[in-house]
Chain A
Amino acid sequence: MNGQPQAVVVQDLVKRFGDFTAVDNISFEASRGEIFGFLGPNGAGKSTTIRILCGLLHPTSGKALVAGVDVAREPERVRQNIGYMSQKFSLYNDLKVIENLRFFAGMYGVNQADAAERIAWAVDMAGLTGREHLLTGTLAAGWKQRLALGCAVLHRPPIVFLDEPTSGVDPISRRLFWELIHRMADEGVTVFVTTHYMDEAEYCNRLVLIDRGRIVASGSPLELKLKSMEGDLLLVECDQVGKALELLQEAPGVTDAAIFGHALHLVVPDAERAIPEVKSYLGERRIAVSRIERIRPTLEDVFVSLTSLKGRREKEQA
């Protein structure tokens, strides 16, 4: 955004543990008011990056600025500028709702004058009016999640980190939660999301996908679906899907195959050429295809093709 400092700036960031490079020279920026999704398989370097951004871990080289603060030089000041909420957010279950809020207001050093107003705001935002004196442990997952969010932003941080924020929450509460997040972003808060849930990734304005410490793709959810997959995606409905899957994994011209209930997703270099080939390949093996067509990949298809396939190919070439 013009003239406005970026909320998060990461430049040539490297983190090594012994001879293992967890974060391998990555650069990206997140703007003010952006909902930024940071995705990658287990062990890709996500948590290491987040820990550096939160001032908990010192980078080996490169630079990271959060709210204009250099995380390597002033880690304590970074922590005043961020909120953090994880799926296993440590709300105290045996404290009342209001006691949790007071506790976190104290922890984050919200001054007395502000605290009452911020707590009232958080209660309202989480839809907990009238429930302030309930034990936190008795709340349904959706309310807990919104309370956790309220606690994480009591000190008005310009940047909030969310780690799988809506896991274990029912679908309606989950939508309410994302509505709140989008409203916070509209007010200028930058939201940094890490997740394995592709449906959470859909709520982000921009996504960065990392694998083995490196960035492998970035863009809006739609851009990733339209542009970042190598090859085309086919939906195949046929009988004996289990057997069809086994056969197609070995079939020439099929890059990857995955099963979804009664259907298969195939990654192929070119849909037009592959459709008749797949049909006859399965036909020759006595499997009848009832439907085969090119579909737009889901974020999960993109994720899997950019991480696992690349790795496999590199391994084969090595």
Chain B
Amino acid sequence: MGADDFTIELDGLTKSFPDVRAVDRLSFKVARGEIFGLVGPDGAGKTTTMRMLAGVLAPDAGSARVAGYDMTRDPEGAKQHISYMPQRFGLYEELTVDENIRFYADLFGVARAERETRAAELLQAAGMVEFRSRLAGKLSGGMKQKLGLVCALVHTPEVILLDEPTNGVDPVSRRDFWRILYTLLDQGVTILTSTAYLDEAERCHRVALLHEGRMLFCDTPENLKGNLDGAVVSVVCAEPRPVKELISGMEGISTMMIVGDGLHLVVREPGRMIPELRARIAAAGLEVDSVEEVAPSIEDLFVEAVQKKKGEKP
């Protein structure tokens, strides 16, 4: 890929606040047409990174290029190519859905003919057509988030920055949201989104996991799966506690967790371990419904990757 194919480039980006280094030497590149996810807990530095990329906060050190503009030297030049949706998007609660969209279209200088078709498409995709004349203040949380996205996307930017756009949004609306984002990718848009929902990482082309301002790793969800040493085994049973105690000494089990319908284990050699587990549990007279390999969740993969990383750098 040539240099022009990266629409977002961070190099050693750093920002400190009086009592904390919020972003610590962050470097990564996002290619045109990619959805890149910043994942991490509260306080990891996601919002600070977003704000620097949007040109509303100056970094202490390092550089950021967005849509070809150096964000420290020419943040104003970049702004018309960026759409930034902060966590609290400024919707006017006393205006209707349509009026909010019109307001943002004016702000972004979108031509009248274009805005009508675009708004109609976006509202359709968001499942909000029948709410066009409702006051924004009367919408549910999920609907408000979707309206924020519609307003942010009423112009066609090169780069879209979304700060935890699906926070508090139910799974149905979240799917609407992602559907809209994917249709934009086909138009060559680049999307950087942050989320605290681990399962959303699965929907991104690549993800970076942030922790206390640093990037722990950055990879595709598929490659993350290759990181798992072994497999996740589900033991379905009504009384997981005694099973956990029974097998806790067994070699080859790296993680044990009680979940809603039993136990989840990470084991090194599932082919050998599963029959061994069954035999051990049966010999102890404990009752289980099944012992089988299941697909690892993205959380399993994160935990594994974080633990591995810790092992490398003690």
Report which A residues bind B (CB closer than 8 A): 35, 37, 40-43, 138, 140-142, 167-175, 178-179, 182, 186, 196-199, 201-207, 220-222, 241-243, 245-246, 258-262, 295-296, 300, 303-304, 307-308
Q: In the complex, which residues of chain B have a beta carbon less than 8 angstroms from the beta carbon of A245?
A: 179, 182
**Distance between Cα atoms of A41 and B168 in the complex (Å):** 10
Q: In the complex, which residues of chain A have a beta carbon less than 8 angstroms from the beta carbon of B44?
A: 170
Q: In the complex, which residues of chain A have a beta carbon less than 8 angstroms from the beta carbon of B260?
A: 35, 37, 201-207, 220-221
Q: Is the CB of A171 within 8 A of B302?
A: yes
1/0 per position for B36-67, CB-CB distance to A under 8 A? 00001111100000000000000000000000
Provide a sorted-by-A list of 14 A–B residue pairs whose CB atoms are within 8 angstroms: A42-B140, A42-B141, A169-B42, A169-B196, A172-B306, A197-B197, A202-B297, A203-B258, A205-B261, A220-B261, A221-B261, A261-B204, A262-B205, A303-B171
**Distance between Cα atoms of A242 and B170 in the complex (Å):** 22
B222 close to A (CB within 8 Å)? yes
Report which B residues bind A (CB closer than 8 A): 19, 35, 40-44, 140-143, 167-173, 175, 178-179, 182-183, 185-186, 196-199, 202-205, 211, 220-222, 236, 240-241, 257-261, 294-295, 297, 299, 302-303, 306
Q: Which residue of A is nearest B40, CB measured?
A: A170
What is the count of residue pairs linking A and B with beta-carbon distances less than 8 angstroms?
129
Q: Is the CB of B170 within 8 A of A196?
A: yes
Partner of B172, one of A203, A206, A207, A303: A303
Partner of A171, one of B143, B185, B186, B198: B198
**Distance between Cα atoms of A317 and B149 in the complex (Å):** 30
Q: In the complex, which residues of chain A have a beta carbon less than 8 angstroms from the beta carbon of B172?
A: 41, 303-304, 307-308
Q: B104 CB to closest chain A CB, in angstroms?
A: 23
Q: Is the CB of A198 within 8 A of B171?
A: yes
Q: In the complex, which residues of chain B have a beta carbon less than 8 angstroms from the beta carbon of A42?
A: 140-143, 168-170, 173
Q: Is the CB of A198 within 8 A of B299?
A: no
Contacts beyond the supplied A37-B260, A202-B260, A259-B203: 4 A-B pairs with Cβ under 8 Å: A42-B142, A261-B35, A261-B202, A261-B220
